[in-house]
Structure 1
Amino acid sequence: MSNQTEHGSSRSHSMKKIAVASMIGTLIEFYDFLIYGTAAALVFAKVFFPSLGQSSGTVLALATFGVAFVARPLGSVIFGHFGDRLGRKKTLVSTLLLMGLSTVAIGLLPTAESIGIWAPVALVTLRIVQGLAVGGEWAGAALLTSENATPASRGTFAVFPQLGASLAFSLASATYLIIALTISAESFLAWGWRIPFLASSALVVVGLMVRFTIEETIEFKKTVERKEIVRAPIAETFREQGGQVVLCALAMMPTFAFFYVGAVYMTTYATGTLGLGKTTVLAVGIAGGLSWAATTIVGSVWSDRFDRHDVILVGGLVSATVGLVLFPIIDIGTPLSFLIGIVLMLGSLGFAYGPMGALFPETFATRYRYSAAGISYSLGGVLGGAVIPLVASSVVTSFGSYALGLLLTATALVGCASVLALRRLKSAGGIKSLEAVEPLGSIAETLPIGNLSRRRP
Structure 2
Amino acid sequence: MVLGDNGITHKVEPDSKSGRVQVRRAALASAIGTTIEWYDFFLYNTAAALVFPHLFFPASSAYAGAMQSFATYAVGFAARPVGAAIFGHWGDRIGRKTTLIVTLLLMGVSSGVVGLLPGTSAIGFAAPLILVLLRLVQGIAIGGEWSGSVLLAMEWGDQKKRGLLGSFAQIGVPVGLVLGTGGMTLLSATLSPEAFDSWGWRLPFLASLILVAIGLVIRLKILETPMFAKLVEKGETAKTPVLDAIRQHWREILLSSGVRFSEQMPFYLFTSYVLIYVVARHEFSKTFVLNAVLVGAALELLMIPLFSQLSDRYGRKKVYLTGVVLTGLIAFPYFAILTSGGHALVFVIVVVSFIPHALQYGPQAALIGESFPTHLRYGGAGLGYQLASVFAGGPAPLLATWLLHQTGTPYSISGYIVLSAIVSVFCVIWLKDRSNADIDDASVYRRARA
Aligned to 2:395: 387
Give the 5 Å matches for 1:305-324.
305-324=313-332
Question: Quick one: which amino acid aligns to residue 22 of structure 2?
Answer: S
Structure 1 Cα separation of the partners of residues 410 and 374 of structure 2: 44
Structure 1 Cα separation of the partners of residues 263 and 390 of structure 2: 12
Aligned to 1:442: none
Residues 294, 350 of structure 1: 8 Å contact kept: no
Deviates most, 50-59 or 107-116? 50-59
Aligned to 1:362: 370
TM-score (norm 2): 0.92
The yes-or-no answer on 1:240 pairing with 2:248 is: yes
Structure 1 Cα separation of the partners of residues 412 and 427 of structure 2: 23
Aligned to 1:216: 224
Aligned to 1:409: 418
Aligned to 1:190: 198
Deviates most, 406-415 or 204-213? 406-415
Post-superposition, which runs of at least 4 consecutive aligned residues in structure 1 deviate over 4 A? none
The partner residue of 1:29 within 20, 25, 37 is 37
The yes-or-no answer on 1:328 pairing with 2:336 is: yes
TM-fit CA distance, 1:432: 8.2
The yes-or-no answer on 1:434 pairing with 2:439 is: yes
The partner residue of 2:79 within 42, 65, 71 is 71
Question: Quick one: which amino acid aligns to residue 222 of structure 2?
Answer: I
TM-fit CA distance, 1:435: 2.1
Identity of aligned residues (%): 37
Structure 1 Cα separation of the partners of residues 406 and 66 of structure 2: 18
Question: Quick one: which amino acid aligns to residue 278 of structure 1?
Answer: K
Aligned to 2:19: 11
The partner residue of 2:92 within 80, 84, 91 is 84
Residues 319, 363 of structure 2: 8 Å contact kept: yes
TM-fit CA distance, 1:433: 5.1
Question: Quick one: which amino acid aligns to residue 74 of structure 1?
Answer: V
The yes-or-no answer on 1:161 pairing with 2:169 is: yes
The partner residue of 2:353 within 345, 349, 365 is 345
Residues 294, 347 of structure 1: 8 Å contact kept: no
Give the 5 Å matches for 1:261-340.
261-340=269-348
Structure 2 Cα separation of the partners of residues 38 and 276 of structure 1: 16
Paired residue secondary structure (2:247):
helix
- Unpaired stretches in structure 2, ≥5 consecutive residues: 1-11, 442-450
Residues 363, 432 of structure 1: 8 Å contact kept: no
Aligned to 1:377: 385
Classify 1:309/1:433 alpha carbon distance in 2 versus 1 (closer, same or farther; 3 Å). Answer: farther
TM-score (norm 1): 0.90
Aligned to 2:6: none
Deviates most, 288-297 or 87-96? 288-297
Aligned to 2:179: 171
TM-fit CA distance, 1:273: 2.0
Structure 2 Cα separation of the partners of residues 278 and 130 of structure 1: 25
Residues 365, 433 of structure 1: 8 Å contact kept: no
- Unpaired stretches in structure 1, ≥5 consecutive residues: 437-457
Residues 257, 388 of structure 2: 8 Å contact kept: yes
Aligned to 2:47: 39
Q: Deviations over 1:169-209 (max 9, x none)?
A: 12222101110122110001111110110011111111111
TM-fit CA distance, 1:37: 0.8
Number of matched residues?
A: 430
Question: Quick one: which amino acid aligns to residue 52 of structure 1?
Answer: S
Aligned to 1:251: 259
Structure 1 Cα separation of the partners of residues 303 and 328 of structure 2: 16
Q: Deviations over 1:245-278 (max 9, x none)?
A: 0000000122111111111111110111233101
Question: Quick one: which amino acid aligns to residue 431 of structure 2?
Answer: L
> What's the RMSD between the two structures over aligned residues?
2.1
The yes-or-no answer on 1:130 pairing with 2:130 is: no
Structure 1 Cα separation of the partners of residues 167 and 106 of structure 2: 24
Question: Quick one: which amino acid aligns to residue 359 of structure 2?
Answer: F
